[in-house]
Amino acid sequence: MSLSKPEIIESLRSKGIDPIKLEKELMNILRSGSGAYEVRSYLKNLFEGDKV
């Protein structure tokens, strides 16, 4: 069964990710002229911590 938007947000927050804040940050990265490579690095860093 798929989750509703508030359930997804709650679930992500419990895992340490605020999707609303993340969306704003990624949008800022893209709007400032950076591309998919920078978004990928940002997300990799988010998932893997200091390893990246």
Q: Which residues bind another protein (CB under 8 A)?
A: 2-3, 5, 8-9, 11-12, 15, 17, 19, 22-23, 26-28, 30-33, 35-36, 39-40, 43-44, 47-48
- Minimum distance from residue 24 beta carbon to another protein (Å): 10
Tell me how far apart the alpha carbons of residues 5 and 13 are, in angstroms, rounded to a whole number.
12
Least Å distance, CB 47 to another protein, is 5
How far apart are CB 2 and another protein at their closest, in Å? 7
What are the DSSP calls for 6-52, one per residue?
A: HHHHHHHHHTT--HHHHHHHHHHHHHTT--HHHHHHHHHHHHHGGG-
